[in-house]
Structure 1
Amino acid sequence: MQLWPGAFSVLLIVVNYTWTRVSATPPINPKCKVVQKTAQYSGCELRSVPSELPEETEELFLNNNRIEFLINSSFAPYSYLKKLSCSGNRMTSLHSNVFSKNSQLHTLNLGNNLLYTHYKQTAQALSALTSLRNLDVSGNVLTEDMAALFVQNLTNLEILSLSHNILMRLDESVFSRLHSLRELNLERNLLYEIEEDAFHGLANLQVLNIAFNQLPCIVDFHLTSVVHLNLSHNAIEWFLSSQNQEEAFQLETLDLSVNRLLFFPLLPHHSHIKNLLLSGNQLAFRETTENGSSSKSSSMLQFVFLNGTVINISSTYLWEETLQRDISSLNVLDMTYNCLTHLPKGFIKKMTALTGLLLGHNTLESLDFIPSEIPVSLQDLDLSDNDLSNLKQSFPDLPPHLQVFNLSLNGLQHFPRQIFSGLSKIKLVDLSFNHLGICSFNDKNSTNCVAWNDINSLQFLYLRGCDLKEIPTNAFSGSPIAHLELSDNQGILLPKSSLQGLSQTLVYLGLRNTSFTDVDFSVFQKLKFLDISVNCLTQIPNSVLRIHLSQLNLRDNKLTAIDLTQTKVLSRKVNAVLLGGNPFNCCSLDWWHFLQRQNSTCILDRTDVKCIHSTLNQGDIHVDLFLSSHCNKRDGESIWLYVLLFLPICLTFVCAGVVFILSFNPRLLPRFIKRRCRSSVPY
């Protein structure tokens, strides 16, 4: 074939153009795609806004790319854009007219960038978005002055997030023009002061989050429109609502957990509060006399404001005002992890709508309230980790609608035997780490045990660490318990008849650290979760492999290997297993390799499964990293050991044979010597 020079040149041009097109086309990232009117371009290593998108695009996601700035022409082709997210980039600025063509944009996320660098230029770009409803500029190292500049013209803004910035002090100039704002997120800043008029004009504000800041107190709280207020993880010692506010407060959820509260918060006179979260403070009630007044001498509390203003309030007045506030609408009261030693008389009685009372992790020594004080509506009662060891038999009758009752970690020794028999809705009871036994039918008047039969609604029962020695016959008959926790009861005896009533209901059984013996698990046909960890098992009980389990916990036992026959059954009947903490033999891992090949049983703690090799001085070795050649090398060394042992015996037999031959043929030796020497020596 002959090519003309002209044709050859044309061919080179075509090949070069094709190669240039192919090499210039970037590889297609499967994460970068357009679905209907939404363009998903997050994590695509972009350095600029893509220009080839459809003009009718309404939602554009550019999160976690490498975009450093947005120029004026970036979004000009997308006039229908309504939602834009550019969080997690490296943006330092937005050009002043970048959104000039995007009048329909209502949601903008610019979080986790570096917009503090050229904040004035960025503020000018944002001022064009007069229709913006939702703005997120969190994580941009913004001060309060920068934030005020960002939102000064966004009068239609409804949701604003300024979290993870460095705001320190708020005054009325920051949010003064945001009359439509409904949600404001200020968490994880450095706020230490909020002036009285800082939120003046935010008549529609309903959700306010100021968690994880440095606020020392809240005095004269008067935000009547706020429904959910989160003030957790600050340094608040006092929460005092406005005394002269006549308008009803809409506050429903007040979160003051993990602060430094010394007194119960002084709530608004007219409120609809439903959830009051006070966990992790230093709350302690003052003792009161029969008429309700403080038994201790009055002391003055002095409030010193940063502007120099000083207010003195009597502690007696403050306490009496606290007890007189209307809290009848309260549904959940969480006072866990405080310093409570008692509850004032009449305090609980005022909470007529209470469904959850959480008093765990305090120092309560007694419950002095009478049965009529407990709200009938109460469903969840948590008294765990207190000092109620001397709880008498006159314990008040539990409310009829109680569903969850936690008395764990109290050291109880005396308890009403039939306390749960009259509760028709009780679902969960936790008496762990007390000293209460399980009553049998013969225990009619005992006060150191609890009867668990015929509680028709009971589903979850926790009896960890109760020093139980034996479960009586038919101890749970008539109670449809699905979750039974008996762990940390060393040496507990479980006769077949003791759990017979749970054969058709039990789903979870915990026997961790019990040293149990002779338990037939096959009777529990609905059992799905079994914890027999921290025992001294050298093999898996055969009855375990007669049922289908979702999870089997065998951690921290004495298993050195698993029988291959059991392994085959295990792979068929157990979906997930925990095996860490067992001293498996590195040279007996056939069962492990079988499980890996089958891939039907998930080993949840695979990284913790290790084995021991007798000759390798490496401690525990991860089973996946162990080389089977180490076992072969050990076998080869044992063969040489046997050779060395048998060598002297072999040499003995050879010498004996030589002597035997020479004794029957004495001329053989002189002829042999003569032949070897080849000459005679004269005497």
Structure 2
Amino acid sequence: MWREESAERSFRFSVLVWLLSISEWVGARAEDVKSTWSGHTARISHQLKVSTMAAFQLLFPLLVSCVAASARPPRHLPSCQVVQMDVFCSDLSLRSAPVDLPHNVQMLDLSRNQVQNLTLETLAYHTGFHHLNLHSNRIHFIQPGLFRDMTDLKVLDLSRNHLNVFALSKTNIGPLTAVESLDLSSNGLYTGMSDYFLAHSPSLTNLSLNSNSITKIAQNSFLGSSSLRKISLHNNVILEIEDGAFDSLDHLTELDLSKNSITCITDFNLYNLTVLNLSKNSMEFFQSTSSDVLYKLLYLDLSQNKMPSFPLLPSQNILEYLDVSRNQLQSVNVTGTNSVVILNHLKYLDMSYNQLKSIPYTFFCSMGSLEVLNVSNNCIGSFSIPYIDILRTVRVINLSYNSLQSLTFGENALQSLEELILQGNDLTTLDHQTFLRLPSIKHLQLQQNNIKICASEKKTSLTDHNHQDPSGCVSFSSIPSLQFLYLSENNLETLPANAFANTPLSLLDLSLNPGLDMDKDSLIGLEHSLVHLLLSENNISKLNIDLSSLRSLKHVNLSTNQLTTLPVWNKVSSIESLNLQNNHLVTLEYNTIFALERSLKTLYMGSNPLSCCKNLDFLHLVQHSTVVVPDIETVTCVHEKNSEPVNIEEVNQEMCHTQGKPNYIVVAVVTVLVVSIVVGLLVKCCHARKRKCNRSFSA
């Protein structure tokens, strides 16, 4: 294709050059004629006419062929991709479809082009499309009756065009006899304009009118599209919905009215609807029609509105998902106009980011299937589930960022609870067995509280009736299901021995507890379970615990402390990721490096005052192993006293050997001097003794 276009350009260029040469020849002949003007007027006139006619006869056919060649559309699809019966011509600056579309094309993608007028000629006179994508063009005119003969067209995407201009003509584009999915989003349409696109759409099931300027849904808006099942009106400016606007839509199951300006719904009566999204409006009130008819609604999103109280839901419902987050809820009254609302099918309830100060446990009595409860970011001061029959199926409870001071669970309550999020509260004094009463708990998030940890309880005899429960602390031992425990930012001062005995923790976060004093036996019992240990930002100067005893430990974070040395590993380590950033480490012991070398994959060492020549084993580990140091650019060491830090990648053993040679010479010289002095003294002593012996013999 490229070669043909190049050849055609070359041909046009040759024709133009030839035309210019002919023009020059004609000009030359004219000059010749002019030079012989005097005395030859008649002959000159005749010759000029003959020359002009000859040139015209030569130029005219070539000029016509050149114009025709330039006007002729490309013979082949310009960079379009053809896959079986689908043609993709997206983003090619086209004004129309290529003329040589495959005869049996079913899908044509002309999106992101420059189509302005949508006519039969624009579509290369094809009518057998099943799927037509004209998304993101400049269409402002549609040929009346264009789609009449497209009896196989199922999907039509006209989004992001200028159809508001066409709608001003008040002309229907229909009939859309077979179209099932129609996208008219982002076309600047306002109230009433959609009627010209929907008037004759008997098969339409999926309609998108997102991101337009519609302010009202009238009674007759969807009369010509009675088969609609899904309507999306997201991001308009809808203020009013006329009574009966959706009554003709017996098959409607999904309705998206999010991000509009609806203020209230007082008589919701769409019994067959399964999904309703009313988020991001200005709703202050939601009430269903009082009826004994069963509503089929499964999903209701009322988030980001202005409701001061809980919505009045249908008394007969099978609702599974309810989101009322980011409103102004101050109460959770669920009583309808005539009867108590039962939410026995509800599985997900989100009431986060409201103004709730309390939630009575009776509120949950009808929620026999609830699995996820989110009441984070409220003002709740106490939370209590005293009985086994309440929330027996709940798996996740999020109470983070409230004002909790009281938290109580009855014996064997919340039997299915696996994740409890209590981050960012004021929890200080709890019953020390609070979490022991949760038989299935796996994740416990207690960051940003003031919890104190009890030591492992000693076994007491059954006859010890005077045994007193520990006060002011919470026990985390003997919780056989607990795997993830987050205790950062709790102002922890001590971590007692056996704090997590008989609790198979996989992750333990103790970071951001400045001054934490850890007993050397505090992690006993975690030898075979602990994988993640987080101890960052605790101002730890010496690590008392023996990390080598934690055989399953793979990820350790000791960053931003005051460590000057690491504990010696006496066993082969299993640690794969180690963060030692922002400490006071000068040297790393050989045994530690040797123990880490086999398993370590990632090491963070930046911002430590390392010595270059006292860490040759460490340098070898970094430079000659597969260990990755993500912060290698910030890992420096000091080569000589009072010298500037050097990046560890620039250090080699020769530098350190060179530094050590003068010392060896001095040692050698001193040794020779000492030996010489000793030998001299011995020789002198021997001579003195011999002379003494000789004098004695003479006497």
TM-score with structure 1 setting the length: 0.70
Match of 1:479 among 486, 498, 503: 503
Match of 1:346 among 354, 359, 362: 362
Match of 1:256 among 302, 310, 314: 302
Are residues 1:450 and 2:487 paired? no
User: In 2, Cα distance between the equivalents of 1:480 and 1:50?
Assistant: 67
Opposite residue 275 of structure 1, the aligned amino acid is Y
SS in 2 for 1:116: helix
Alignment of 1:223-262 (within 5 A): 223-243=270-290, 245-262=291-308
Match of 1:509 among 533, 536, 543: 533
Residue 324 to residue 16, structure 1, CA distance change in 2 (3 Å): closer
Are residues 1:387 and 2:403 paired? yes
For 2:340, the equivalent position in structure 1 comes to 324
For 1:200, the equivalent position in structure 2 comes to 247
For 2:112, the equivalent position in structure 1 comes to 64
Are residues 1:108 and 2:123 paired? no
Residue 576 to residue 101, structure 1, CA distance change in 2 (3 Å): farther
Cα displacement string for residues 364-392 of structure 1 (whole angstroms, at most 9, x for unaligned residues): 2223664256232222222222222144x
Are residues 1:431 and 2:423 paired? no
Opposite residue 135 of structure 1, the aligned amino acid is L
Opposite residue 252 of structure 1, the aligned amino acid is L
Say whether the 8 Å CA contact 1:329–1:352 is kept in structure 2: yes
For 1:664, the equivalent position in structure 2 comes to none
Are residues 1:376 and 2:376 paired? no
Q: Report the alpha carbon displacement of residue 18 of structure 1 after superposing the two structures with TM.
A: 8.8
Alignment of 1:18-29 (within 5 A): 19=10
Opposite residue 476 of structure 2, the aligned amino acid is W
Say whether the 8 Å CA contact 1:76–1:98 is kept in structure 2: no
Are residues 1:409 and 2:419 paired? no
Are residues 1:398 and 2:413 paired? yes
User: In 2, Cα distance between the equivalents of 1:119 and 1:599?
Assistant: 66
For 1:336, the equivalent position in structure 2 comes to 352
Opposite residue 167 of structure 2, the aligned amino acid is Y
SS in 2 for 1:118: helix
Residue 505 to residue 101, structure 1, CA distance change in 2 (3 Å): farther
User: In 2, Cα distance between the equivalents of 1:595 and 1:68?
Assistant: 62
SS in 1 for 2:402: coil
User: In 2, Cα distance between the equivalents of 1:137 and 1:578?
Assistant: 53
Opposite residue 85 of structure 1, the aligned amino acid is N
For 2:201, the equivalent position in structure 1 comes to 154
For 1:175, the equivalent position in structure 2 comes to 222
Opposite residue 357 of structure 1, the aligned amino acid is L
SS in 2 for 1:421: helix
User: In 2, Cα distance between the equivalents of 1:450 and 1:269?
Assistant: 42
Say whether the 8 Å CA contact 1:96–1:122 is kept in structure 2: no
SS in 2 for 1:117: helix
Q: Report the alpha carbon displacement of residue 238 of structure 1 after superposing the two structures with TM.
A: 0.6
Q: Report the alpha carbon displacement of residue 163 of structure 1 after superposing the two structures with TM.
A: 1.1
Match of 1:93 among 127, 141, 153: 141
TM-score with structure 2 setting the length: 0.68
Q: Report the alpha carbon displacement of residue 201 of structure 1 after superposing the two structures with TM.
A: 0.9
Alignment of 1:111-130 (within 5 A): 111-119=159-167, 124-125=172-173, 127-130=174-177
Q: Report the alpha carbon displacement of residue 533 of structure 1 after superposing the two structures with TM.
A: 4.5
Q: Report the alpha carbon displacement of residue 560 of structure 1 after superposing the two structures with TM.
A: 12
Residue 408 to residue 242, structure 1, CA distance change in 2 (3 Å): same
For 1:272, the equivalent position in structure 2 comes to 318
Any unmatched runs of 5+ in structure 1? 1-12, 288-317, 613-622, 629-683
Once the two structures are overlaid, the 10-residue window that deviates more, 493-502 or 570-579, is 570-579
Q: Report the alpha carbon displacement of residue 450 of structure 1 after superposing the two structures with TM.
A: 2.6
User: In 2, Cα distance between the equivalents of 1:97 and 1:110?
Assistant: 16
Say whether the 8 Å CA contact 2:581–2:608 is kept in structure 1: no
For 1:469, the equivalent position in structure 2 comes to 493
Are residues 1:210 and 2:257 paired? yes
User: In 2, Cα distance between the equivalents of 1:573 and 1:170?
Assistant: 65
Say whether the 8 Å CA contact 1:248–1:270 is kept in structure 2: yes
Q: Report the alpha carbon displacement of residue 266 of structure 1 after superposing the two structures with TM.
A: 0.7
Are residues 1:131 and 2:164 paired? no
Residue 396 to residue 525, structure 1, CA distance change in 2 (3 Å): closer
Residue 540 to residue 130, structure 1, CA distance change in 2 (3 Å): farther
Cα displacement string for residues 145-197 of structure 1 (whole angstroms, at most 9, x for unaligned residues): 11222212112111111111111111112122322111111111111221222
For 1:657, the equivalent position in structure 2 comes to none
Say whether the 8 Å CA contact 1:467–1:490 is kept in structure 2: yes
Alignment of 1:281-680 (within 5 A): 281-285=327-331, 321=337, 324-344=340-360, 346-367=362-383, 370-371=386-387, 374-391=390-407, 398-442=413-457, 445-494=469-518, 497-516=521-540, 517-518=542-543, 526-527=552-553, 529-535=555-561, 547=574, 549=576, 601=628, 603=630
User: In 2, Cα distance between the equivalents of 1:366 and 1:151?
Assistant: 54
Match of 2:90 among 28, 39, 42: 42
Opposite residue 432 of structure 1, the aligned amino acid is Q
Any unmatched runs of 5+ in structure 2? 15-69, 459-467, 613-617, 637-646, 651-699
Q: Report the alpha carbon displacement of residue 576 of structure 1 after superposing the two structures with TM.
A: 6.7
For 1:310, the equivalent position in structure 2 comes to none
Alignment RMSD, CA only?
4.8
User: In 1, Cα distance between the equivalents of 2:84 and 2:629?
Assistant: 39
Residue 175 to residue 524, structure 1, CA distance change in 2 (3 Å): farther
Once the two structures are overlaid, the 10-residue window that deviates more, 493-502 or 211-220, is 493-502
Cα displacement string for residues 449-501 of structure 1 (whole angstroms, at most 9, x for unaligned residues): 33223433322221121122333334334333333222221132445543354
Say whether the 8 Å CA contact 2:310–2:332 is kept in structure 1: no
Opposite residue 142 of structure 1, the aligned amino acid is L
Say whether the 8 Å CA contact 1:584–1:610 is kept in structure 2: no
SS in 2 for 1:229: strand
The higher radius of gyration belongs to 2
Q: Report the alpha carbon displacement of residue 256 of structure 1 after superposing the two structures with TM.
A: 0.9
User: In 2, Cα distance between the equivalents of 1:66 and 1:229?
Assistant: 36
SS in 2 for 1:144: coil
Cα displacement string for residues 204-254 of structure 1 (whole angstroms, at most 9, x for unaligned residues): 1111111111111111111111111111111111111112x3421111111
Say whether the 8 Å CA contact 1:285–1:344 is kept in structure 2: no
Q: Report the alpha carbon displacement of residue 96 of structure 1 after superposing the two structures with TM.
A: 3.4
Say whether the 8 Å CA contact 1:275–1:332 is kept in structure 2: yes
Identity in percent: 31
Say whether the 8 Å CA contact 1:75–1:99 is kept in structure 2: no
Once the two structures are overlaid, the 10-residue window that deviates more, 397-406 or 114-123, is 114-123
Q: Report the alpha carbon displacement of residue 532 of structure 1 after superposing the two structures with TM.
A: 4.2
Q: Report the alpha carbon displacement of residue 86 of structure 1 after superposing the two structures with TM.
A: 2.7
Residue 482 to residue 59, structure 1, CA distance change in 2 (3 Å): farther
Residue 510 to residue 548, structure 1, CA distance change in 2 (3 Å): closer
User: In 2, Cα distance between the equivalents of 1:93 and 1:542?
Assistant: 79
SS in 1 for 2:161: coil
User: In 1, Cα distance between the equivalents of 2:134 and 2:275?
Assistant: 28
User: In 1, Cα distance between the equivalents of 2:567 and 2:13?
Assistant: 64
Q: Report the alpha carbon displacement of residue 259 of structure 1 after superposing the two structures with TM.
A: 0.9
Q: Report the alpha carbon displacement of residue 427 of structure 1 after superposing the two structures with TM.
A: 1.8
Once the two structures are overlaid, the 10-residue window that deviates more, 425-434 or 508-517, is 508-517
Aligned length: 564
Say whether the 8 Å CA contact 2:332–2:363 is kept in structure 1: no
Residue 40 to residue 442, structure 1, CA distance change in 2 (3 Å): same
